[in-house]
Amino acid sequence: MSVTTAASARVVADLPFLAAQLHDDRTAWRSKVGDRWVDRSFTEVAEWVMDLASGLVQRGIAPGDRVAVLANTRPEWSAVELAVLAAGGVVVPIYPSSAAEECAWIISDSGAVLLIAENAEQRAKVESIRSDVPDLREIIGMDGGLDELASEGRTSPQPAELDARRAAIDPDSPSVIIYTSGTTGPPKGCVLTHTNWLTMCRLTEELSYVVPDDVVYLFLPLAHVFAQIVHLSAMYVGATLAFHGGDPARIVPELAEVNPTFLPSVPRIFEKVYTAATAGVPEDKLKQAVHIGLSVRRLRAAGQPVPPELEAGFAQVEPVFARVRAIFGGRLRQALSGAAPISVEVLEFFSAAGVPVLEGYGMSESTGVGTVNTLHRHRLGSVGAFGVAGLDLRIAEDGEILMRGPHVFAGYWNNPEATAAVLTDGWLHTGDLGEVDEDGFVKITGRKKDIIITAGGKNIAPANVENQLRQSRWVSHAVVYGDRRPYLVALITLDQDEIVPWAAERGLPTDIPSLAAAPEVRELIQGVVDEANSHFARVSQVKRFAILDRDLTQDTGELTPTLKVKRNVVHTTHAQRYDELYG
């Protein structure tokens, strides 16, 4: 007699129904309603998905139809996605921060026939460009319209039709089309198949990233591939997924309420906690505390005795480390940082504190995964190793990272030219530069298109210098420039949360434009630049810099929805500042 397991899933659309069989009344999703957390069991989630999927069939959604979702991360987002897949459709996520024109492009390019909008504001955004998206037949709001859709499904359930549709899905057919952030040109739709996602789910289970007893806190946008991996993998293994309540200022307080055991995040959250925890601690004492913490934890992990003098030193710093663990809820088994680089100093600090933060690497075109660090095999400062679950990787002659395996996407939607440019003989050309050490761990060294070639012919990866500058608590963003120029310069923005209290203590103005021009701030940032420069050869050092009177933002087009810098926009917008730095 065959035993039902998550591995029985043939397509992603099977997951909620298999999970209900396997995990029944265990908690699948947890979400904030007012001041309290409300749980939904795996069975309740499957019933909700079935109702919504039946409603979609009633509304005329056919197999292969694209359905766009424009909303922040919340249970309704996940339920809609699973329902669309159960109805045989294809999900098209859109960032809620996207401008109307960006929404129009994605809806039009994907040919979406239905859009699920979070609220009246998002609905109005799409209504304003309705004439530009002729294929869009209907907009349904999550605030009311979704309940109506589910009610229609309960009134006229379609179990036989939905079973037939799921059985007819080709595992290698599109399931989700994720549009890239578009750092250059309009976004391209990455076609991710059912096989792609199930590969990620099995990898997550194999490497114990998410385990059945985990409580996973998700604040990342579900329009991003990283959040999609987490959401689907939690369903696959039977973990509890706790959804962010919606207020960015409440992320850290909610960690203390949810007490997660697994936290997927972007570097900025860890950097903020690191900055707050180490503020005022002399550099030599911080390094000593981290060294002691790392030494003790490595010995304990290896089952070796800790020397008495080392144990005594650890006892002195452990109260500080305990407070760090408490910030994350006190139960964190591991955290995963992705979507952007994070410094090894930050990783070492959290490891010493008993909060293992592992770094991974991937892109939308590789279903978010390419290399992995695990608790049992990792190297801080690397993005991990490859070779598991069919994940293949090699370095091309020019240093570019190439990937191959069941995680590589099917291509760009409606864009065979762009697909041919990145897929060659099954190998995905990532555009990232990297190197592999003798133990198989990969280190990212830059982006091919970002490489600066100075007037002297030297090749420099600006990200290395920028990441070092951003380790300062005073710096929000740093953009290095110098292509065909005699030396490097940088534009720097101030971290308002850190610089304003510092300025107030000294009787300085507390508005960013005034602080950007203040000599005291200039001196402070000069120290940051000098410290960063000490890590690099002279050719890679920043010779001059300017402090901008505002931060980079999505509204100005300088940042993507995942907060990556759009260099071409920054360079164009601030061209005069660059000229002044070379004047």
The pLDDT tens digits for 521-547 are 999 999 999 999 998 888 889 999 999
Within 8 A by CB and 6+ apart from 470, the residues are 271, 476, 477, 478
Which residue range is the domain that position 75 belongs to?
12-169
What CATH number is associated with residue 522?
3.30.300.30
**In terms of domains, do 387 and 469 share one?**
no
Looking at the domain assignment, is residue 28 inside a domain? Answer: yes
Instruction: Judge whether 40 lies within some domain.
Output: yes
Do 494 and 387 reside in the same domain of the chain? Answer: no
DSSP 8-state code for residue 385: B
Structure tokens at 302: 């290896």
pLDDT of residue 279: 78
Of the three residues 150, 169, 188, the one that is the final residue of a domain is 169
- What's the rounded Cα separation, in Å, for the pair 258 and 215? 8
Q: Is the pLDDT of residue 362 over 80?
A: yes
Provide mean pLDDT across the span 431-446. 89
Q: Is the dihedral of CA 257, 258, 261, 266 positive or negative?
A: negative
> What would the pLDDT profile of 366-384 be if each residue is shown by its tens digit?
999 999 898 888 898 899 9
pLDDT at 97: 87
pLDDT, mean over the chain: 91
Distance CA 489, CA 466 (A): 11
For 506-512, which contacts have Cβ atoms below 8 Å and span 24 or more sequence positions? 512/549, 512/550, 512/551
Look at residue 260 and tell me whether its pLDDT is greater than 90: yes
Given a cut of 80, whether residue 466 has pLDDT beyond it is yes
- Same structural domain, 417 and 537: no
Domain boundary among 412, 447, 482: 447
Q: Which of 447, 482, 506 is the last residue of a domain?
A: 447
Domain identity same for 508 and 426: no
271 and 418 share a domain?
Answer: yes
Q: Which helix (H) or strand (E) holds 256?
A: helix 251-258
Residues 279 and 369 in one domain: yes
Tell whether 506 is covered by a domain. yes
- Are 431 and 492 in a shared domain? no
Domain count, the chain: 3
Please state the rounded mean pLDDT for residues 546-571.
87
- Give yes or no: residues 538 and 475 share one domain: yes
pLDDT given for residue 467 in this prediction: 84
Reply yes or no on whether the pLDDT at 185 is more than 70: no
Question: What are the residues whose beta carbons fall under 8 Å from the beta carbon of 427, sequence distance 6 or more?
Answer: 394, 402, 403, 404
Backbone angles phi, psi at 494, to 5 degrees: -90, 145
- Helix, strand, coil percentages (3-state) for the chain, rounded to 5, are 45, 20, 35
Evaluate if residue 184 carries a pLDDT over 70.
no
- Looking at the fold, whether 457 and 402 belong to one and the same domain comes out as no
Residue 352 lies in a domain: yes
Can you give the pLDDT at residue 328?
A: 93
pLDDT of residue 1: 39
> At 3, is the pLDDT very low, low, confident or very high (cuts 50, 70, 90)?
low
pLDDT tier at 343 (50, 70, 90 boundaries)? confident
Residue 136: DSSP 8-state: -
Residues 35 and 88 in one domain: yes
* 30 part of a folded domain: yes
Q: What is the pLDDT, as a whole number, of residue 16?
A: 97
Same domain, 26 and 137: yes
Mean pLDDT value across residues 190-195: 97
Residue 182 binned pLDDT confidence (cut-offs 50, 70, 90): low
Kindly state whether residue 192 falls inside one of the protein's structural domains.
no
User: Would residue 545 count as lying in a domain?
Assistant: yes
Task: Give the best-scoring range by mean pLDDT among 162-166, 252-256, 312-316.
Answer: 162-166
Mean pLDDT of the 117-128 span = 95
Highest mean pLDDT among 6-10, 77-81, 253-257, 290-294: 77-81
pLDDT for residue 427: 95
455 pLDDT exceeds 80? no
Of the listed ranges 175-179, 323-327, 450-454, 467-471, the one predicted with least confidence: 450-454
**Residue 296's CATH number:** 3.40.50.12780
Pairwise CA distance, residues 399 & 439, whole Å: 18
Confidence band, pLDDT 50/70/90 cuts, at residue 70: very high
- Please check whether residue 89 lies inside any domain of the structure: yes
User: Domain check: are 288 and 408 in the same one?
Assistant: yes
